[in-house]
């Protein structure tokens, strides 16, 4: 091992590997509305275990159970079961990229009833809701913790496993652009690339393709973007929204609009960027990003959400105007923690 395991205690590593080796069926769950790190970490470990002859089921607790279109290229989808087919009281359950039990959605009660619950995560805000915790806030992605676990189990990361782990790594480092891009992140990328994965295909699936309708909806969202130079303690706020009516007009599914925030957050005049996205049921999911001077995880936590200091989110059942009115005054806290020094 060349990577630093110090954030996770030896006892936790030992208990996790003992439990996994002894388990009959291992039940895996990642957070709702999974992103590349959530699904990649879960399917990466799931595939490594399945290839070693272990029984595995994997799921996530969304009311409408569909894998986001841009993650359908990930190997291991045959391990997925609907939440209704998930073990009610698993002997061993493992969670991925979820900072709280609530983030498991419909599968939270299953976690509550699991005999042993191994929590694998990298959020500094993780509430340690399991019986064993592999939580490393200095890890760039949850897949980075999973890579160490696979190694400690004596299992091999083949090309399919590596594709899953790499998807999480590039998602959470923003293609090695965010401040969490450590030497360890690049070293892991090197190990994964050595298995023969195709980084250009993974990047294209994740970010560089969309239906034409996306351009139309993006145009609408950008056309109404608002810059508030005095907001965020005078550091500037830029924000916009994508309604379900915008999407319906072009026939664009909800899971296609995740990338809007990555355009909006580039604005020089704003420290904080916000995109509100309305789902098909009329609820709003809010993506919030900062450049480092404002702790958006704390702001989002105050509104029932969470995330990382520079990338966080929450859900809202009220109007765009009311949601922004609630968020705006919270965008003043400087970070108390840092991505790389928790």
Nearer to Mn ion, 172 or 256 (CB): 172
Q: For residue 95, give the nearest of 54, 139, 46, 138 by alpha carbon.
A: 46
Lookup result for tokens 């399991």: 130
- Out of Mn ion, ligand 5GP, none, what residue 146 binds, judged by CB under 5 to 8 A for its kind, is none
Contact call for residue 315 and ligand 5GP (CB under 6 A): yes
Torsion sign across C-alpha atoms 107, 111, 115, 117? positive
In the complex, least distance from residue 43 CB atom to Mn ion, rounded to whole angstroms: 14
Torsion sign across C-alpha atoms 187, 192, 195, 196? negative
DSSP line for 40-58: HHHHHHHHHHHHTT-EEEE
Surface-to-core class of residue 261, CB atoms within 10 Å of its CB (0-12 exposed, 13-18 middle, 19+ buried)? buried
Which of 307, 309, 323, 330 is in the footprint of ligand 5GP by CB under 6 A?
A: 307
The number of residues that bind ligand 5GP (CB under 6 A) is 15
In the complex, least distance from residue 13 CB atom to ligand 5GP, rounded to whole angstroms: 24
In the complex, least distance from residue 276 CB atom to ligand 5GP, rounded to whole angstroms: 11
Which of 313, 316, 327, 331 is in the footprint of ligand 5GP by CB under 6 A?
A: 313
Contact call for residue 287 and ligand 5GP (CB under 6 A): yes
In the complex, least distance from residue 275 CB atom to ligand 5GP, rounded to whole angstroms: 8
In the complex, least distance from residue 41 CB atom to Mn ion, rounded to whole angstroms: 8
Nearer to ligand 5GP, 236 or 313 (CB): 313
Nearer to ligand 5GP, 75 or 305 (CB): 305
- Out of ligand 5GP, Mn ion, none, what residue 315 binds, judged by CB under 5 to 8 A for its kind, is ligand 5GP
Contact call for residue 277 and ligand 5GP (CB under 6 A): no
Extended beta strands in the chain, E state: 25-30, 55-60, 92-96, 116-121, 132-135, 226-228, 237-242, 272-278, 284-290, 306-308, 311-316
Contact call for residue 247 and ligand 5GP (CB under 6 A): no
In the complex, least distance from residue 35 CB atom to ligand 5GP, rounded to whole angstroms: 6
**C-alpha–C-alpha distance, residues 292 and 212, integer Å:** 33
Which residues, other chains included, contact 331 with Cβ-Cβ below 8 Å and sequence gap of 6+? 231, 232, 233, 237, 272, 294, 296, 299
Residue number with the smallest Cβ distance to Mn ion? 37
Contact call for residue 308 and ligand 5GP (CB under 6 A): yes
Q: For residue 214, give the nearest of 289, 282, 277 by alpha carbon.
A: 277
Which residues, other chains included, contact 19 with Cβ-Cβ below 8 Å and sequence gap of 6+? 92, 116, 118, 132
Pair of tokens at residue 239? 């924000």
**C-alpha–C-alpha distance, residues 200 and 192, integer Å:** 14
| 55 contacts 24 by C-beta, under 8 angstroms | yes
- Out of ligand 5GP, Mn ion, none, what residue 273 binds, judged by CB under 5 to 8 A for its kind, is none
Contact call for residue 239 and ligand 5GP (CB under 6 A): no
Contact call for residue 312 and ligand 5GP (CB under 6 A): yes
Nearer to ligand 5GP, 80 or 311 (CB): 311
Pair of tokens at residue 122? 């990298």
**Residues of the shown chain interacting with Mn ion in the complex, contacts defined by CB under 5 A:** 37, 97, 142, 172
Residues binding ligand 5GP (CB under 6 A): 31, 35, 99-100, 103, 287, 305-308, 311-315
């Amino acid at each position: 091992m060349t990577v630093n395991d110090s954030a996770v205690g030896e006892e936790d590593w030992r208990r996790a590997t003992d439990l996994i080796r002894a388990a009959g069926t291992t039940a895996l769950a990642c957070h709702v509305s999974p992103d590349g790190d959530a699904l990649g970490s879960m399917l990466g470990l799931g595939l490594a275990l399945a290839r070693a002859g272990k029984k595995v089921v994997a799921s996530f607790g969304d009311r409408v159970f569909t894998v986001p279109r841009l993650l359908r290229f990930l190997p291991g989808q045959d391990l997925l079961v609907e939440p209704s087919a998930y073990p009610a009281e698993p002997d061993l359950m493992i969670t991925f990229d979820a900072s709280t039990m609530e983030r498991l959605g419909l599968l939270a009660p299953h976690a509550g009833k699991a005999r042993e619950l191994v929590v694998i995560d990298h959020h500094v805000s993780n509430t340690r809701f399991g019986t064993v915790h592999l939580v490393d806030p200095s890890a760039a992605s949850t897949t980075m913790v999973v890579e160490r676990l696979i190694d400690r189990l004596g299992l091999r990361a083949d090309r399919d496993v590596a594709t899953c782990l790499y998807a999480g790594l590039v998602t959470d480092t923003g293609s090695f652009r965010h401040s969490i891009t450590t030497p360890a992140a690049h070293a892991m990328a090197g190990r994964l690339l050595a298995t023969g994965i195709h980084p250009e295909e993974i990047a294209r699936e994740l970010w560089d393709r969309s239906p034409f309708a996306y351009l139309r909806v993006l145009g609408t969202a950008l056309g109404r973007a608002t810059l508030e130079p005095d907001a965020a303690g005078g550091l500037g706020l830029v924000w916009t929204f994508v309604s379900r009516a915008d999407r319906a007009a072009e026939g664009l599914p909800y899971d296609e609009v995740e990338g809007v925030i990555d355009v909006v957050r580039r604005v020089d005049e704003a420290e904080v960027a916000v995109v509100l996205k309305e789902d098909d049921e009329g609820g709003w999911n809010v993506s919030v990003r900062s450049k480092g001077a404002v702790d958006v995880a704390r702001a989002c936590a105050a509104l029932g959400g969470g995330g990382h200091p520079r990338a966080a989110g929450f859900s809202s059942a009220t109007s765009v105007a009311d949601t922004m009115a609630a968020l705006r005054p919270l965008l003043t806290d400087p970070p108390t923690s840092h991505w790389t020094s928790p």
